[in-house]
Structure 1
């Protein structure tokens, strides 16, 4: 990991008071964080047999399995933590091109506009940003985010109280910080995943308990840092694949 990105890792268990809030990716405090990209390239986890790669987001360019080079070790720390406890990670998605992110965001905006015709554009952006990041701050498009699930050593996916990339039926049910309504086994699995990713320095997202990031604007805000070291990468497959 480069020294520039290492500086961005949060101190273990040192999270500011804001970490207890439901902060959306569209929150003005996230957008206000300064970006000073450290220049780390994207690398493909396909080339590293230590990780299980899920195929549900597979694409022709395979960009979904790409991540900033400095974060591979951080993901391996989480993987080792789980292996010692008879579990593993399955990586579902890492990098997401901004054009794809923009499409997802516009679709969510349109869906919400139909459900809430009286909302202003700013209100719709805030609401949409809880589950789909605006493309101008999207952590996946920075190469600094991962969506992961918890599996057994033989690769069987375990229950952590959600289906990945779904919108919750009840507020808070996707959150690590509000999982009281889950069955005990699902809650325990979710907390194990959180502990493993925290061990690797990954910052969880309030609204999506499968999503973690390092080096992004959201991660900077949640760890009291004044800048992010990963900015949006516009079209990486032409350079790195």
Structure 2
């Protein structure tokens, strides 16, 4: 990986935005149809889009799952695809929250800060179908401690990062690093700010891998028309 992979690069970083997109056209498929994976229900939706992923990434996720099974652990898949309208809502909510806390910041500064934890909708890896949020589980599916609950604010800055896990209890730190080892074994690129989040084929992943283009761009919600929604 290039040296940039050791930096705290936000999804809103201009270097991420600048990566060219050449979408390969792979469809979304549902992990619900594959009993090899343990699906966490906390992000379940009526249309089940949260369990959908680009078809070319199923084998990559299975590589990580097999790595963990060989060590007496499993993945819990929390969220994959996220519709652009939902991503826009999350991002605007985060912008509003930060604007109230930091009225002195400019719009660009707020966008950069918000982009550390919530991707801007125009580059959002979940809305590309190329990102997964996962955590670690025992063989019976019980979630294990990796130092946080997914999508919760950390008590201290950097606590959710792989690069700043030294303050965690030994068991939580070991679990976190096992998750990292499994996912990178499967070819997944970790996100510096969120140690549950991994990507392949996205703009962020391309930047971290020193590639000149991404193969997954933002795609519309496959259920949007039937629900009367517009992305």
- TM-score, normalising length from structure 1? 0.92
CA distance in structure 2 between the aligned counterparts of 1:80 and 1:56, rounded to whole angstroms? 23
Note the alpha carbon deviations across 1:107-142, whole angstroms, 9 max, x for none.
Answer: 000000000000000000000000000000000000
Q: Deviations over 1:87-109 (max 9, x none)?
A: 00010000000000000000000
Report the counterpart of residue 237 of structure 1 in structure 2.
Answer: 223
- Give, in angstroms, the shift of residue 168 of structure 1: 1.7
Once superposed, what is the RMSD of the aligned Cα atoms? Answer: 0.9
SS at match of 1:79: helix
Out of 161-170 and 133-142, give the one that drifted further. 161-170
**Count of matched residue pairs:** 225
Q: SS state of the match for residue 52, structure 1? A: coil
Which SS does the other structure have where 2:159 is aligned?
A: coil
Q: 2:60 aligns with which of 74, 77, 101?
A: 74
**1:160/1:186 contact within 8 Å kept:** yes
Q: Which runs of 4+ in 1 moved over 2 A?
A: none
> Which residue number corresponds to residue 107 of structure 2?
121
Higher alpha-carbon deviation: 164-173 or 57-66 = 164-173
2-side partners of 1:226 and 1:236: how far apart? 28
CA shift digits 1:138-172 (9 cap, x unpaired)? 00000000000100001111000011011222221
CA 1:238–1:127 in 2, change beyond 3 Å: closer, same or farther? closer
Partner of 1:131: 117
Deviation at 1:235, TM superposition (A): 2.1
Once the two structures are TM-superposed, the CA of residue 238 in structure 1 deviates from its matched residue by 5.6
- Tell me the CA shift for residue 228 of structure 1: 0.2
Q: How does 1:84-99 map to 2 (within 5 A)?
A: 84-99=70-85
Tell me, yes or no, if the aligned pair for 1:150 and 1:158 is still in contact at 8 Å: yes
Indicate if the aligned counterparts of 1:148 and 1:211 stay in contact, CA closer than 8 A. yes
1:215 aligns with 2:201: yes
Task: Render the CA deviation track for 1:37-96: whole Å, top value 9, x for unaligned.
Answer: 000000000000000001111111100000000000000000000000000001000000
Q: Deviations over 1:198-235 (max 9, x none)?
A: 00000000000000000000000001000000000012
Mapped to 2, the partners of 1:58 and 1:214 lie a distance apart of 22
**TM-score, structure 2 normalization:** 0.96
**Which whole-Å CA distance do the structure 2 matches of 1:96 and 1:120 have between them?**
28
Three-state SS of the structure 2 residue aligned to 1:209 is strand
The offset of 1:237, in angstroms, is: 2.6
Matching residue of 1:21: 7
Shift of 1:177: 1.1
Task: Please state whether the residue corresponding to 2:112 is helix, strand or coil.
Answer: helix
Q: Give how far 1:236 is off.
A: 1.8
Asked whether the equivalents of residues 18 and 222 of structure 1 are also in contact (C-alpha less than 8 Å), the reply is yes
Does structure 2 retain, via aligned residues, the 8 Å contact 1:131–1:167? no
